[in-house]
Structure 1
């Protein structure tokens, strides 16, 4: 192995380590935000505005996606790190000191924009640079980064909230988040700027605009429906041709990613609200259920990575998660039932996600125009982010209605079932002998 190859390999390993560290930081932040949601909603008098509380950060992330490549090319990694750090910290301070729901959402939105500036570039670089084997290990290790936060995060969050209040607890993950971002920026520092396909397309603006309309509709359903239609139209325009038609291979995998993001991320963001309101359990017990799904996701992903994701059936895993959401929507209102169901849902994601992610980021060796790596990089980030945004916005809007949380979980179950159907077409078609490449 020559020096250049050795340096390239070392750089790839640093990038992989940075992405894994960033995933750990994201897990810590997610558990803090989800655990605190019922407390924040009560403190700000925003039980009827849940969508506003939970969708702000994802809206900011999506707005940042088409800008990340341009900002990094013009400012460089160092200045982008400084800008992202300032905006991320400032946004969290605004959210932590907010007295109204809109101020909290504005702070989360600002932090989300800052997160997107670095996270999108790091994931794109991983898809572009890392080989399939190392990329799969990164996916499995990233899933494992949710295990420790899932085990101790909710309990530690509640303990810190009891001691210092929710406002100080909200900013507690800042050092971990900044450390993860610093590792990613160092890993890609010095890399020549590339065109990752992250151009600002007008149709793409329909997604955050439509989701914002859903969040801000405030019970005016014609506005919410129009926003949902606009967001779906923008999603179709952003993703590669064939995604909406469930074309074999990567297009169907990307469609499944969108539906998975909407169903699972939406459900996970509201789990503490569902349990404290509909199941009438304490926040401490709800936090146990909150940690069950990502814990099982991480453990199952580790097993799948060793066995081989292509031996698994992503559709079966997603179907299991859909069944779990259906139980939460319509099953017995018992703590044990919720705990078992959501743990099983996390195991389903662990079975499905590694193989589905690999299929979504692998161009099919089929006749015709294959999807280039840069387009797949942008597409897979877009698919999962759009799905999560729509799930949070739509689920929050439904949950704000009387008895709407159970209805939201019914919708999440349908979306996950649709993801399972899309996943049945996610394996790339085999190339017939003698077919033109």
Structure 2
């Protein structure tokens, strides 16, 4: 074991991390399902951006600060600070009477999510061997299956029984359970040896993200925000990431490109199906669930096999599925073809993600501490998501199906580039 901290029970730590991921999935689906009800109750239909932006901005503020918090407070202190922010933010949001108070509570929750995510991933990097760690990644992906299938219906049913404020507290027991397991497995030790990166440049990430999220269609602010975000991201990620240097930097670059392509496409899939293909909401729901189910199930297979070429092959499959959607939009494709194409996209992600994640969180020659590597991989994925959704939203609003076609072509190109970067992520034996 490395880094001075000692792990008494690696399996307990692994289960705790997976439980926290399940709690994150429940939290996400509860919040998104309750959003229309919250907006109506707080008379904030014209402030949806504010209600949604809070958790995203909190996460991006946490990322450049997380390694510093872990360095100063140690594992238990960081976990305690994250739980305090989580519970306090949830209480604030659940008791809010106006939109800005709800957004402040969501901001605290996003801040806590960032701290807990960096802590969990850095603990896994330090204390779990590669074989167990890749299984943790796969199991964490599978934790989204039940919330994806049952979460919206269960949330709406509970909301009718007890109201949205009490329903917002549903994830708390899962978070406390995961936290208790992690605390049992990890104890305090000396802080990480590596010095954190310069703070001023890394804080460009939340500043730029705020510009993108709050631009509300005003493209000059969105472009400026994206530029600041990318500049801050370069400061957080290992040197050589932008050049896709072989090893960890290339893996992190692939993670950014994957997130741009896949999450950008996923964010517009309902619009594509209903507006582009003229499908019903019921058909759209079937297609929408195909990719995450394919991802979750296939990731378990990929973790068990753990082949070095899986990330490249998987991302190529996802690129193919996304490209088929673009082609079908022009040719007027059938429901069956679209369903299969998006399912193949999800299967490709499931095949690629565990191995790619393992490569992105293995120090190699980067010289990063576990906390900084954890911050880097979360930053890569989250900023890729942010940029993919922002670019896709801008292009798709430019002109009906023509904008959607351009968006999905761009997403497919990003995924092809991600497959190439993933191939460079493999260290020579």
Find the aligned partners of 1:269 and 1:53 in 2 and give their Cα distance.
Answer: 18
Q: How far is the alpha carbon of 1:298 from its aligned partner?
A: 1.6
- Among residues 381, 400, 406, which one is paired with 2:378 in the alignment? 381
CA displacement 1:325-348 (0-9 Å, x = unmatched): 445566358765554333222111
Which residue number in structure 2 is paired with residue 321 of structure 1? Answer: 318
Which residue number in structure 1 is paired with residue 55 of structure 2? Answer: 57
Change (3 A) 1:358 1:73: closer
- Among residues 116, 119, 122, which one is paired with 1:118 in the alignment? 116
| Residues 365-376 of structure 1 mapped to structure 2, 5 A cutoff | 371-372=367-368, 374=370, 375-376=372-373
Contact 1:38/1:272 (<8 A) preserved:
no
Listed as ranges, the gaps of 5+ residues in structure 2 are none
Which residue number in structure 2 is paired with residue 340 of structure 1? Answer: 340
Stretch deviating more after TM superposition (62-71 or 284-293): 284-293
Stretch deviating more after TM superposition (278-287 or 182-191): 278-287
Change (3 A) 1:347 1:197: farther
| Residues 28-427 of structure 1 mapped to structure 2, 5 A cutoff | 28-36=26-34, 52-75=50-73, 77=75, 80-96=78-94, 103-161=101-159, 163=161, 166-195=164-193, 197-199=195-197, 201-269=199-267, 271=269, 286-312=284-310, 314-328=311-325, 331=329, 332=332, 338-364=338-364, 371-372=367-368, 374=370, 375-392=372-389, 394-395=391-392, 403=400, 406=404, 409=408, 411-427=410-426
Contact 2:135/2:300 (<8 A) preserved:
no
Find the aligned partners of 1:228 and 1:315 in 2 and give their Cα distance.
Answer: 27
Contact 1:58/1:385 (<8 A) preserved:
no
Contact 1:54/1:396 (<8 A) preserved:
no
TM-score by length of 1: 0.80
Contact 2:89/2:105 (<8 A) preserved:
yes
Find the aligned partners of 2:157 and 2:218 in 1 and give their Cα distance.
Answer: 39
Find the aligned partners of 1:173 and 1:397 in 2 and give their Cα distance.
Answer: 33
Change (3 A) 1:356 1:152: same
CA displacement 1:68-106 (0-9 Å, x = unmatched): 344345445555444433422332344456677655443
Find the aligned partners of 1:392 and 1:53 in 2 and give their Cα distance.
Answer: 17
CA displacement 1:144-187 (0-9 Å, x = unmatched): 22233333334333443455555554432232233223332342
Q: How far is the alpha carbon of 1:273 from its aligned partner?
A: 6.1
Contact 1:69/1:196 (<8 A) preserved:
no
Q: How far is the alpha carbon of 1:64 from its aligned partner?
A: 1.2
> Size of the alignment, in residue pairs?
419
Contact 1:154/1:288 (<8 A) preserved:
no
Change (3 A) 1:271 1:187: farther
Contact 1:248/1:428 (<8 A) preserved:
yes
Listed as ranges, the gaps of 5+ residues in structure 1 are 1-6, 431-437
Find the aligned partners of 1:138 and 1:29 in 2 and give their Cα distance.
Answer: 20
Stretch deviating more after TM superposition (263-272 or 26-35): 263-272
Find the aligned partners of 1:196 and 1:71 in 2 and give their Cα distance.
Answer: 13
Change (3 A) 1:127 1:158: same
Contact 2:7/2:185 (<8 A) preserved:
no
TM-score by length of 2: 0.82
Change (3 A) 1:273 1:60: farther
Which residue number in structure 1 is paired with residue 428 of structure 2? Answer: 429
Contact 2:319/2:416 (<8 A) preserved:
yes
